Amino acid sequence: MKSETALLTETALITGSSSGIGFHLAMEFARRRHALVLIAPVASELQKIASELKTVGALFVRTIAKDLEKPEAPQEIFDELSSDRIYIDILVNNAGFGHRGKFWEIPIEHEISVLRLNIEAVLRLTKLFLPPMLQRRQGRILNVASVAGFEPGPLFAVYHASKAFVLSLTEALATELEGTGVTATALCPGPTDTDFFQKSGMLHARMFQKANLMAPQDVAKAGYEGLMAGERVVVPGVANKIIVFSRRLLPEATLAKMTGKLYVDTSDGTRERGDKELQAAQRG
């Protein structure tokens, strides 16, 4: 069994770590004195966050500014770390985004971008960092999926499909990894109060305006604890657990209609969340 000291010194690589759930996951690891490698597109944002993480306990923070939509980025990250003999014990595939709208109205280039980040980057990074974990017979993988992965999502179709892929892949991988010393965990949050809604064009959607959004800190804490416990699937929040369980029992057509209502535009004067709430979500 691993000692407590060994657990605390495991090095974690976290993608999409400059905001949202990724930032708060980095905070969770930092507070427990892990070494960190942070991946996001903007170098200046990463450097600022690295300084903050060191103040809360991170043993070491390495930042690498890369756009994971570019197919060569994962290999470049792996090669840079290997050259510097930085070995990754925990891979956190968190980076992801989506576009709201009718499928036929969204440019194909936008949807391909979603697939490149939400799926291709996850595949490439896992293919690169998993084999060394298997050789050392220790390691952990946390893939951030979503409750969206359990259901079809009209008006957010490709995002839901991408998260279904991540969820299915992680659950299959968890079985393949049994007895290897390496675990795979899927973190499946529900609607979370972050800047994801702004980036995906959902500020006026019913989900953002009306739903009971979970705090990203709580999602990150549940994800970290589930990962370290070796759980296969983590669904933070009692309400989300109930939703996931109940929706598995519903007909697909009914499920799709229910989910689609969450993405309906409410910009008809019924907005309940405004600039104040949006600003609070920027760092989340």
Helices assigned H by DSSP within the chain: 4-8, 20-31, 43-56, 73-83, 108-115, 121-136, 157-176, 196-199, 206-210, 216-229, 238-247, 252-261, 275-283
Which 3 state secondary structure label does DSSP give 90? strand
The Cα–Cα gap between 61 and 73 comes to 19
How many whole angstroms separate alpha carbon 216 and alpha carbon 219?
A: 5
Single out the catalytic residue among 87, 159, 224, 263.
159
Give the closest residue to 29 by CA, choosing from 13, 42, 43: 13
Does residue 87 have an active-site annotation? Answer: no
Distance CA 142, CA 223 (A): 8
Measure the CA–CA gap between 40 and 46, rounded to whole angstroms: 7
Number of H helices, E strands in the chain: 13, 7
Neighbours of 247 (CB within 10 A): 16
Residue 67, classified by CB atoms within 10 Å of its CB into exposed (0-12), middle (13-18) or buried (19+), is middle
Would the CA dihedral through 182, 89, 230, 123 be positive or negative?
A: negative
Q: Are 188 and 239 in contact (CB under 8 A)?
A: no
Q: Which residues are catalytic?
A: 159
